[in-house]
Chains A and B, each alone.
Chain A
Amino acid sequence: MASVKLNNIKKRFGDVDVLHGIDLDIKDGEFVVLIGESGCGKSTLLRLLSGLEDITEGDLYIDEERVNGRSPAKRGIAMVFQSYALYPHMNVFKNMAFGLKIAGKDKAFVKNKVIEAAKKLKIDHLLERLPRELSGGQRQRVAIGRAIVRDPKVFLFDEPLSNLDASLRVQTRVELGKLHQELKATVIYVTHDQVEAMTLGDKIVVMNKGRVEQVGSPLHLYHHPKTQFVAGFIGSPKMNFLSAKITEVGTENTQIVLESGRVISVAVDTSGFEKGATVQLGLRPEHISLRCDTNTVEGKITLIEHLGEQSYLYVDIPQEGELVLKVDGDNQYHAGDNVTFGIKPNRLYLFAKDGDALPRITASS
């Protein structure tokens, strides 16, 4: 197991800059999730780490050693692909043993290693099967097993759960989490699914357009997003945004006015901004309350999504736009109903025009 350090890593494909200088510190045994929209460079970054793609500029250290230009084999990494990439003509045992066999390990050692890993992943009864005779979930386990047997310093996962169906995805996610605790391995995991990121990661790296937007623990990102992009990305359903203008600047309490003229007080430090500056107000669906009587707003329900335990209300606010509310599943609302709701000042977020978050005052929360 090892630490990984990225120092101003850049990647260019021809004239196209894909990564614009990534700095990242990954501690020994940490589970780091790279998350971002498709095309943000997260998979490219993983391929740079693996050595399948050359680094254009910058330094990469694995276990305190600079590994730029080294082949994947010599970096001590193991990669699990989204498409599993099992060798189709080899059975499960051979698939898992292939790397060790090539490395010239003796037969008994290889056999022990493979069986041990197979037991851990509960695929020891499938060793004689060919990949095409396995289900998606089983194939994924074999792919993970193939990585485990090599005792790599760092595990790289490239969207490993994307090809699984929903229930299997949840199950495998839990197992991956347990596996990480058991192996205490350094894991770098790429996904576009924020639930996977929140549940698995010790640390989440949010990427946007080839840059690191924010790094932090799942809860830190949830409570203190540095930019509007991160705020919109973490949390489900997405954070709601409304445009507003600052009417009262303050270090403790700020007043803003929405486009419709509603005045909202927000527990955000706006010192450094001028009166009248345009900002984006962020409200999380789960923080909007139908029982809260501060910052009240009224609107009309246009759609209800029932998820059982909870429901999402899509509420149209005249002159403002649509908000999503997360409410208890046992409710009596219907589409077309008018509702009034409020939100506490300390649950609100403000983002400047360029997307940067304004500092929230958290002492009261």
Chain B
Amino acid sequence: MTFLKGFLPSSPRHVSKSVTVHAILLAYTVIALFPIIIVIINAFKTRKAIFKDPLGLPDSDSFTLAGFQEVLLRSDFGLYSWNSLVVTLIAVGLVLLLGAMAAWALTEYKFRGNFIITFLFAMGIMIPIRLGTVSILSLMVELNLANTLTALVLVYIAQGLPLAVYILSEFVRTIPKELTEAARCDAVSEYKIFFCIILPLLKPAMATVAVFTMIPIWNDLWFPLILAPGEDTRTITLGVQQFVGQYVTNWNSVLSALTLAIVPVLILYTIFSRQLIRGLTSGAVK
């Protein structure tokens, strides 16, 4: 009880409120984590055990690493992960850079067409990019980019940019105008203002955007399947599909591959979320 006291507020009304909040959050966490935990525990079980007792933990009889062996030894898992990682990192990096630049330009400068461009970005959020799959495919074929990672990177930039611009614009607006004005008086060029002052201040916002952008790219199956299904350019989500057959599915391998696929994205998430430090702008202006 003394342990709990540190976490719970003193007054009874606050206690009931806090209990409710925590109960809801815990329920949500359980629901969200349940499928992932099922995937992970079953990845370590024999095929028989998976079907016999899907919710049971692996014991000495049912424990096996066969799935992992299959994935790591008999498929190009390393290549698939590498492809996913390259595509995700380059796409996220460029979305952040271009998104921040666009957000800065659209909020800071008044120019002709400012509204139109902002409007187009807003449209980009509302209209799913997959509606244009056919034309994107024919465009990529014409550009000789079919079956390349470049095609995927380009599509993912287009997919991620509108929301990034939207979120970052909001953050740019919170940066005090005096900072850029002070820099202008300091004879700092517009590029330097962006890279030396605005970009560092946008770090927390960019971490948020990075997480938002990264997850859908990493998990995407659609565009890798259509634009880059070749053996050399498969991403991890596509690579896993080879274990899913029309008649027989190698569940051990599928679950093991999925378990392994969680690891890199978890690492990336940890890195970005560390940047989510609040209050960086405090102290700039009173």
Contact = CB atoms under 8 A, between A and B. Distances in A.
Interface of A: 50-52, 71-74, 77-79, 81, 83-89, 98-99, 102-103, 130-134, 136, 139, 146, 150, 163
Given A89-B200, A89-B201, A89-B280, A84 B285 contact: yes
Nearest to B199: A89
B282 interface: yes
A73 B284 contact: no
A78 B179 CA distance: 13
A113 to B, nearest CB: 13
Interface stretch (B27-35, B69-77, B155-163, B181-189): B181-189
B281 A88 contact: yes
Nearest to B186: A99
5 smallest CB-CB distances across A and B, nearest first, come from A132-B283, A73-B187, A99-B186, A83-B285, A85-B178
Given A89-B200, A102-B192, A139 B182 contact: no
Contact of B187 (A84, A87, A103): A103
B176 interface: yes
Nearest to A136: B286
A98 B280 contact: no
A50 B187 CA distance: 12
Contacts of B282: 88, 132
B197 interface: yes
B186 A88 contact: no
Nearest to B188: A102
Contacts of A52: 181, 184-185
A89 B284 CA distance: 8
B283 A130 contact: yes
Interface string B268-284: 00000000000111111
Contact of A79 (B179, B181, B201, B281): B181
A98 B201 CA distance: 16
Given A83-B176, A85-B178, A102 B186 contact: yes
Contacts of A71: 184
Nearest to A81: B178
Given A79-B182, A86-B285, A150-B187, 17 more contacts: A50-B185, A73-B187, A73-B188, A79-B181, A79-B185, A83-B285, A83-B286, A84-B178, A85-B176, A85-B285, A87-B182, A88-B201, A98-B196, A99-B186, A102-B192, A130-B283, A139-B283
Nearest to B282: A132
A98 B176 contact: no
B283 A85 contact: no
A261 B181 CA distance: 58
14 contacts: A52-B181, A52-B185, A73-B187, A85-B178, A86-B182, A86-B285, A87-B197, A88-B280, A89-B280, A102-B188, A132-B279, A136-B286, A146-B182, A163-B286
Contacts of B196: 98
A139 B282 CA distance: 12
Interface in B227-245: none
A85 B187 contact: no
Contact of A83 (B178, B183, B280): B178
Interface in B164-187: 176, 178-179, 181-187
B184 A72 contact: yes
B284 A102 contact: no
B185 A88 contact: no
A243 to B, nearest CB: 43
Contacts of A146: 182, 186
Contacts of B281: 88
A89 B187 CA distance: 19
A84 B283 CA distance: 9
A86 B184 contact: no
Contacts of B286: 83-84, 136, 139, 163
Contacts of A88: 201, 280-284
Contacts of A150: 186-187
Nearest to B187: A73
A86 B279 CA distance: 15
Nearest to B200: A89
